Amino acid sequence: MIEARTQLAAKIEGTEGQAEALTKTEAFLAANFKFTPDTPAGERPNVSASLSPWAPIPGARSAKMEFDVELKGSGTKGTAPALGALLKACGFGETVSANTSVTYKPASTSISSITIASYEDGIMKKIWGARGNVSLKLEDGAPGWLHFEFTGADFSVTDVTMLADVTYESTKPIAFLAATLTIDSYSALIGALEINMNNAVALRKDINSASGYKSAVITNRKPSMTIDPEAVLVATYDFYGKLRSGNEGALSLALTGSAGNVCTITAPKVQYTAISDDVKEGLRNLGITCQLNRNAGDDELSIVFT
């Protein structure tokens, strides 16, 4: 089977934990796909005259899917991008303003579950009752990528023909260039930025289910960010002083593309939690780890497409 002949599709579930039928409409572009089933078996440590083992009994089952998706909008203002369904199942709420914008912010309730399937040159791998974690990676000169990792409450692998006549979003991702970035009102010189929601995902046990699980659920989150600013004089910007004081400063980042593909990322209270020294091509840099803190709650990060 040819690895490149792979399609992915996903759909928010109408009923939590019940697999959705997927069509070409739910297909989206992705890369670096990986499927990992988990089928722990019940051991049978019976004793007899023989040392040979007894066949274990298959028990609860679940699976993980992970993949990368380009950071890009739908290309139409006020129309949710394909990655919107994935963000919603990673603990984000979606607010659509007609003909204007689509905003994603963390949520603590009403988090959607999702069904996801891969079509791999004749085989379909599918998980459902899934929720997960997402991280964002931006590097100088490269398009932005979102890495998703979903845990499903059950899975199946069957022979299925690939989706026909799929049409993907025509928008292209924006390179991490000419970006307007400030942190704590300082225009730091950086080459890379990463944000990880660090969602804690647990499986809800359910003996009434054939898999032993009802669904996966997000039980907590602790969003973090790393940046690599060039080192400067304390008088220019006091990174270490901010670390010592526990200062919280706002992040603002704009990736400018065409209408419907402008991405603005903000965080109201970024707090430095660790700083390390680094050298890149003879220049002193800092490796800074940050925590994204709440303002009023469910607002520690905002991703807006306009």
Reference 10, options 186, 172, 134; nearest CA is 134
Going from N- to C-terminal start, the domains of the chain cover: 6-36+62-162+170-305
Q: Which residues pair with residue 133 across a beta bridge? A: 149
Reported as a single tens digit per residue, the pLDDT across 105-164 is 999 999 999 999 999 999 999 999 999 999 999 999 999 999 999 999 999 999 999 999
* Percent of the chain topping pLDDT 90: 98
Task: Output the DSSP codes for 111-151.
Answer: PPPEEEEEEETTEEEEEEEEEEEEEEEEEBTSB-EEEEEEE
What's the pLDDT score for residue 28?
Answer: 98
Q: What are phi and psi of 92, to 5 degrees?
A: -105, 145
What's the pLDDT score for residue 55?
Answer: 96
Q: 149 is written with which tokens? A: 């990792």
Reported as a single tens digit per residue, the pLDDT across 67-113 is 999 999 999 999 999 999 999 999 999 999 999 999 999 999 999 99
DSSP state of 249: E
**239-266 b/e with 16+ CB inside 10 Å = b?**
beebbeeeebbebebbbebeebbbbbbb
What's the pLDDT score for residue 217?
Answer: 98
pLDDT at 229 over 90: yes
pLDDT tier at 257, thresholds 50, 70, 90: confident
Tell me how far apart the alpha carbons of residues 41 and 38 are, in angstroms, rounded to a whole number: 10
- Residue 63 CB contacts under 8 Å (≥ 6 apart), including other chains: 35, 36, 37, 38, 125, 127, 151, 152, 154, 155
pLDDT at 1 over 90: no
pTM to 2 decimal places? 0.96
Which stretches of the chain are DSSP H helices? Answer: 84-88, 239-245
pLDDT tier at 235, thresholds 50, 70, 90: very high
What's the pLDDT score for residue 84?
Answer: 98
The β-bridge relationship of strands 101-106 and 123-139 is unpaired
